[in-house]
Amino acid sequence: MELTGAEIVVRALADEGVEHVFGYPGGSVLYIYDEIFKQDRFKHILVRHEQAAVHAADAYSRVSNRVGVALVTSGPGVTNAVTGIATAYMDSIPMVVLTGQVPTSAIGQDAFQEADTVGITRPCVKHNFLVKDVKDLADVIRKAFYIARTGRPGPVLVDIPKDITIARGKYTPPTGEIKMRSYSPVVKGHQGQIKKAVQLLLQAERPMIYTGGGVILSDAAPELTKLVQMLDMPCTNTLMGLGAFPADDRRFVGMPGMHGTYEANMAMQHCDVLVAIGARFDDRVIGNPKHFAQNARKIVHIDIDPSSISKRVKVDVPIVGDVKDVLVDFLAQVEASLKETRRNPEQIAGWWKQIGAWRERECLKYKSSNDVIKPQFVIEKLCEITRGEAFVTSDVGQHQMWAAQYYRFNKPRRWVNSGGLGTMGVGLPYAMGVQMMHPDADIAVITGEGSIQMNIQELSTCQQYHLSPKILCLNNRYLGMVRQWQQIDYGSRYAESYMDSLPDFVKLVEAYGHVGMRIESPRDVEGALREAFTTHKKRLVFLDIITDRTENVWPMVKAGKGLTEMLLGSEDL
């Protein structure tokens, strides 16, 4: 059938099974918006800023394993969206971002609202397309979805000039799997390498499993859990991998890295066989690579992206493939090998005894108070009241680290945060994307008074679509993580980190039509949280929680230091 380009866009999205599109209209995409208005196969969510559209689509994907979709106009619409695109790219989130462009005849003429979208976004997308002929449009959109969700996932951008949206071309519904000669990611792991890795692991005296967001992206949490429990090994999840292995299992030693637990970091450093699964040895995880390499250990690295293997740390057994597929084969070989290979029960028992000694340091213990609200206490109460079942989105800073440390994530895809790029302002639009996917779930936004103001206009979007996240603003009147670094590394010179002109958040939230609460005493925290999640379950509630402004995140590995060089508290300064 022959359709306009705008009709092709809408039909292609619907045929991909898209249910929600997050966007903001503008001149170059109005023909597309006109076609969206005429259809009922998917719903469009009008945000108040293009950055929020991409963040919401990002979170929608994180909690659903679907491809998120955002639609923005040309010029400033695109440039506003770049932060969200880069955020998704760093965390390997599958998304398709459709952008408007000036007519093809005006490209390169400095036309009104023109930007070099392909050039601007090239460093922060998995791939991008500029459509120059309406005949290519449907095929390009299908390829965009295929590229976004296969291999190492990531955002794919399709730039569509306005004249392409009114040109006419034939549309053929999709049939079969997309085939691309230039793109064919490896999915199955090499059986010989898997066998070698299994033998190393079974012979280990101090084994360690280190997992990242790749386990969650490939839906491999059941396989990971079975492997760890079968072999009774310690397991650590990175910030992006929290929930891949249940936090309440005794084998979970906490998060590793800059603000990881003492026991996780010591075990990472002193193990003799380390199996990295869907993780990338990030600088915030292993600290200084030279320090990390001081201890001899065998390293197995399982990852879909071959460029991530031996990028920062030399590995002994590389296995390229989809994490879930590799772990299925890995488990089969473990079960077969256990019949023939005798493990080292005495040494394993000694390893667990050592880990137990590290745990006795109680590195996450904090000094409670009856006078001032401790942020850790708020997260603990949130976890208790929601029974660890909530979807938790966070902004970036101290509050993010406290959420990661003190909320017990027992399921994957419940923790939504910006790990790689560290983007302030994601928390609220993330919650919007989560609720579009899970309309009846409990959703908590952990934020600070600095982060929340970066996208606070999305309170209007929440009002329009009756969204009801509970926003916990841990308000310490500082850019908290900046203040902490300034205290530790800059002689307590708090340059531009004090927020001395904050709004009355309660009044502001009420002006948007939501419920606002201010909590200033520890004894009121539990009651306020219970009221928010029960009495006001169907309303957005903003809890302005006035917390201890001097509290720091411990443990901490300073930049350039090694995993065992942790600061466990202010006494180490």
Active-site choice (16, 35, 50, 114) = 50
Residue pair 275/300 in contact (Cβ under 8 Å)? The answer is yes
Residue 15 DSSP SS3: helix
Sign of the torsion angle spanned by Cα atoms 365, 368, 373, 379: positive
CA 121-137-148 angle, to 5 degrees, is: 50
Residue 208: alpha-carbon gap to chain centroid: 24
Active-site choice (95, 101, 114, 162) = 162
Q: How far is CA 394 from CA 24, 31, 425, 447, in A?
A: 23, 36, 9, 6
Q: How far is CA 304 from CA 279, 318, 348, 419, 439, in A?
A: 10, 11, 30, 19, 32
Active-site choice (19, 113, 558, 565) = 113
Q: Which residues pair with 373 in a beta bridge?
A: 547
Per-residue pLDDT at 343: 73
Per-residue DSSP letter, 349: H
What would the DSSP string read from start to end of 373-430? B-HHHHHHHHHHHTTT-SEEEE-SSHHHHHHHHHS---STT-EE---SS--TT-HHHH
* Interatomic CA distance for residues 78 and 87, integer angstroms: 14
Sign of the torsion angle spanned by Cα atoms 305, 310, 312, 315: positive
Q: Is 113 annotated in the active site?
A: yes
Q: Whole-prediction pTM value?
A: 0.97
Per-residue pLDDT of the chain (573 residues; tens, 9 = 90+): 899 999 999 999 999 999 999 999 999 999 999 999 999 999 999 999 999 999 999 999 999 999 999 999 999 999 999 999 999 999 999 999 999 999 999 999 999 999 999 999 999 999 999 999 999 999 999 999 999 999 999 999 999 999 999 999 999 888 888 889 889 999 999 999 999 999 999 999 999 999 999 999 999 999 999 999 999 999 999 999 999 999 999 999 999 999 999 999 999 999 999 999 999 999 999 999 999 999 999 999 999 999 999 999 999 999 999 999 999 999 999 999 887 766 788 999 999 999 999 999 999 999 999 999 999 999 999 999 999 999 999 999 999 999 999 999 999 999 999 999 999 999 999 999 999 999 999 999 999 999 999 999 999 999 999 999 999 999 999 999 999 999 999 999 999 999 889 999 999 999 999 999 999 999 999 999 999 999 999 999 999 999 999 999 999 999 899 999 999 998 887
Residue pair 51/75 in contact (Cβ under 8 Å)? The answer is no
Q: Is 50 annotated in the active site?
A: yes
* Interatomic CA distance for residues 110 and 249, integer angstroms: 59
Active-site choice (112, 180, 230, 520) = 112
Termini Cα distance of the chain: 71
Q: Residue 348: enclosing H or E segment and its boundaries? A: helix 345-359
Written as six digits, the tokens of 562 are: 């090694």
Active-site choice (454, 481, 517, 566) = 481
